[in-house]
């Protein structure tokens, strides 16, 4: 089992959703529940983690907005600062991983949870986001090759959406707020460079052989094929 475990269980949708409300409920429930669990774990982990110098040959986990803010709140300043960073313990790693998996699930395309949420919010207009998201992911490959598998998955399966039987019934105000909040969460937890390798003192560079995202991508593949 990898450092990410089995990433939980995934439920395949064998029948179309009844309406956009149901689609939103299915799409938002998992990521938001994961976020509620991940943030306290992350804060507890950071409160017990030590801060030390960045050493060559080590790895630096990437910052999302929430992760960076959590380190500022707990440690009092932005990290890594070029010389020092948090030495990640098991609790911190679990919280950081939870945020990463949440971000990947919330990518607003196809049959990922983010795709369900976006489709429930704006309907068929969600398909217009396919190429912008794809181009953004391709750009990320030049920053970290860990995104290559995700580009392949989007090319193969990213245009398939879970279309509800009833597209007429709109979301109520509460669900619209949840949908918008979920998409904001995606921005706050997304990590452009998941891991960087320190090749010189205080100089983290994207790792060339990051297996985290490919491993998660293979597990989440069935989300695209539901």
- Tell me the per-residue pLDDT of 111-162, one tens digit each, with 9 for 90 and over: 899 999 999 999 999 999 999 999 999 999 888 888 888 888 888 878 888 8
pLDDT over 90 percentage in the chain: 59
Residue numbers of the domain that contains 115: 20-224
The more confidently predicted of residues 93 and 206 is 93
Highest mean pLDDT range out of 16-30, 146-160, 197-211?
16-30
Closest CA relative to residue 54, chosen from 75, 87, 77, 84: 84
**Does 152 reside within a domain?**
yes
Least confident of 54-58, 73-77, 81-85, 203-207: 203-207
Task: Find residue 60's DSSP bridge partners.
Answer: 196
Question: What confidence score (pLDDT) does residue 3 get?
Answer: 47
Say how far apart CA 195 and CA 212 lie, in whole Å.
9
- The answer to whether residue 1 scores a pLDDT higher than 50 is no
Task: Find residue 166's DSSP bridge partners.
Answer: 19
Question: What confidence score (pLDDT) does residue 6 get?
Answer: 42
Domain count, the chain: 1
Question: What confidence score (pLDDT) does residue 22 get?
Answer: 95
**Does 8 reside within a domain?**
no
**Angle in degrees, 0-180, between the axes of helices 65-75 and 20-48, rounded to the nearest 10:** 30
Question: Is the bond leading into 80 cis (omega within 30 degrees of zero)?
Answer: yes
**Does 13 reside within a domain?**
no
**Does 15 reside within a domain?**
no
- The answer to whether residue 187 scores a pLDDT higher than 70 is yes
CA atoms within 13 A on the CB side of 166: 11
What is the chain's mean pLDDT, rounded?
Answer: 84
Say how far apart CA 145 and CA 123 lie, in whole Å.
32
């Amino acid at each position: 089992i990898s450092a990410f475990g089995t990433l939980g269980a995934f439920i395949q949708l064998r029948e179309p959703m009844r309406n956009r409300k149901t689609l939103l409920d299915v799409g938002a429930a998992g990521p938001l529940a994961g976020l509620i669990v991940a943030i306290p774990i992350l804060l507890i982990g950071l409160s017990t983690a030590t801060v030390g110098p960045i050493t060559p040959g080590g790895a630096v986990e990437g910052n999302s907005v929430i992760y960076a803010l959590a380190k500022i709140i707990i440690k009092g300043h932005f990290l890594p600062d070029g010389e020092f960073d948090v030495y990640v313990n098991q609790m911190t790693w679990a919280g950081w991983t939870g945020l990463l998996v949440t971000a990947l699930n919330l990518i607003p395309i196809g049959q990922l949870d983010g795709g369900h949420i976006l489709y429930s919010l704006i309907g068929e207009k969600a398909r217009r986001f396919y190429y912008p998201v794809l181009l953004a992911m391709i750009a990320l490959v030049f920053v970290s090759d860990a995104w290559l598998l995700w580009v392949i998955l989007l090319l193969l399966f990213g245009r398939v959406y879970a279309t509800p039987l009833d597209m007429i019934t709109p979301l109520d105000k509460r669900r619209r707020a949840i949908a918008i909040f979920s998409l904001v969460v995606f921005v706050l937890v997304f990590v452009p460079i998941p891991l960087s390798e320190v090749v010189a003192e205080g100089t983290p560079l994207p790792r060339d052989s990051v297996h985290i995202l490919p491993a998660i991508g293979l597990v989440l593949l069935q989300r695209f094929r539901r």
